[in-house]
Amino acid sequence: MWHFISEQVSQQIGKDFICDDIREVNSGDSHQAYKISDGKQRFFVKTNSKSKLANFEAEAEGLNHLQQTELFRIPKVICVGTVGDHCFLVLEHITMTSGNAESWYSFGEKLARLHQSQTQEMYGWQEDNYIGLTPQPNKWDKKWSRFFAEQRIGFMLQLLAEKGNRLANIDNVVESVQSLLNGHTPKASMLHGDLWQGNTGFHKQQPVMFDPAFYFGDREAELAMTELFNKFPQAFYDGYESVWPIEPEYAYRKTVYQLYHLLNHALLFGGHYVQSAQATIKNLDA
């Protein structure tokens, strides 16, 4: 496998690369990950079973679109493909560090600029993709309340029901979410889609993003995710507000946006995420 991947990398970078140092790294629960090197050049490689090729192709697509904005340091996609029973995604290797207050402020500024300047007329994306290992539908829709209620919350509840976890009456929850968001017509902003601290870092104090679940939607959905697991530092929000202030009504919508990610974690990991999602659903009509 590594000989084939080395050949693919060589073709893409236009010079010989033969990996003689392969080190597995911890990258969460979705894929196996490695840092490979020939002593001069390093790359980051994800592998999985061949059936997950579409995941890597969607990830590469999202990374490419985020990179084109030139606002963040985004790992460059080198190549994606299959070999034997495996699929792989090779990315530029970026050495990352934790940020300070100044770099987090810059992160917030850049994200606000991304949300403000990179927009579409409708919500969704030209193709479906994934959030982690979970399918994420992105059919274009002119109405945000319908898009989020059906393609985010309703779809995730259906996946859970198919696994035997029927948390609530799906139609009723979809109706409640649509009612809560009714009349809210946000700008359809380019979103990373899965923005938590585990998918961020800094390189020479420049903000880095990776592992996207790319689509166009309400910027508040992105901000809600940053508050859900290991909330971003306050400097990040100060930087964001300096460019594009957050609406006061965000506080009322935040919980329903976070529900999407709670449902995904309930689907992937079960446990207390199921109870958290159920509690949030019960409060929708409160």
User: What are 152-165's pLDDT values in tens digits?
Assistant: 999 999 999 999 99
* CA dist., res. 204 & res. 142, Å (int): 40
Of 250, 196, 197, 263, the closest CA to residue 219 belongs to 250
Residue 205: band (very low, low, confident or very high) from pLDDT cuts 50, 70, 90: confident
Q: Give the number of residues written for the chain.
A: 286
Q: Quick one: tokens of 74?
A: 């985004």
Q: How far is CA 220 from CA 126, 133, 186, 250, in A?
A: 21, 23, 9, 7
pTM of the prediction? Answer: 0.93
The alpha carbon dihedral of 248, 105, 131, 128 has a sign of positive
Element (H, E) at 207: strand 206-209
User: What are 125-181's pLDDT values in tens digits?
Assistant: 999 999 989 999 999 999 999 999 999 999 999 999 999 999 999 999 999 999 999
Residue among 20, 38, 85, 194 flagged as catalytic: 194
Residue 224: band (very low, low, confident or very high) from pLDDT cuts 50, 70, 90: very high
Of 162, 172, 141, 132, the closest CA to residue 260 belongs to 132
Q: How far is CA 210 from CA 17, 90, 154, in A?
A: 24, 13, 26
Active site residue 171: no
Q: Quick one: tokens of 51?
A: 């059936």
Residue 3: band (very low, low, confident or very high) from pLDDT cuts 50, 70, 90: confident
Beta strands at 129-131 and 77-83: parallel, antiparallel or unpaired: unpaired
Cβ–Cβ under 8 Å, residues 149 and 109: no
- The pLDDT of residue 28 is 66
3-class DSSP string for 225-279: HHHHCCCCCHHHHHHHHHHCCCCCCHHHHHHHHHHHHHHHHHHHHCCHHHHHHHH
- The pLDDT of residue 49 is 94
Cβ–Cβ under 8 Å, residues 86 and 49: yes
Of 191, 193, 154, 181, the closest CA to residue 252 belongs to 181
User: What are 68-115's pLDDT values in tens digits?
Assistant: 999 999 999 999 999 999 999 999 999 999 899 999 999 999 999 999
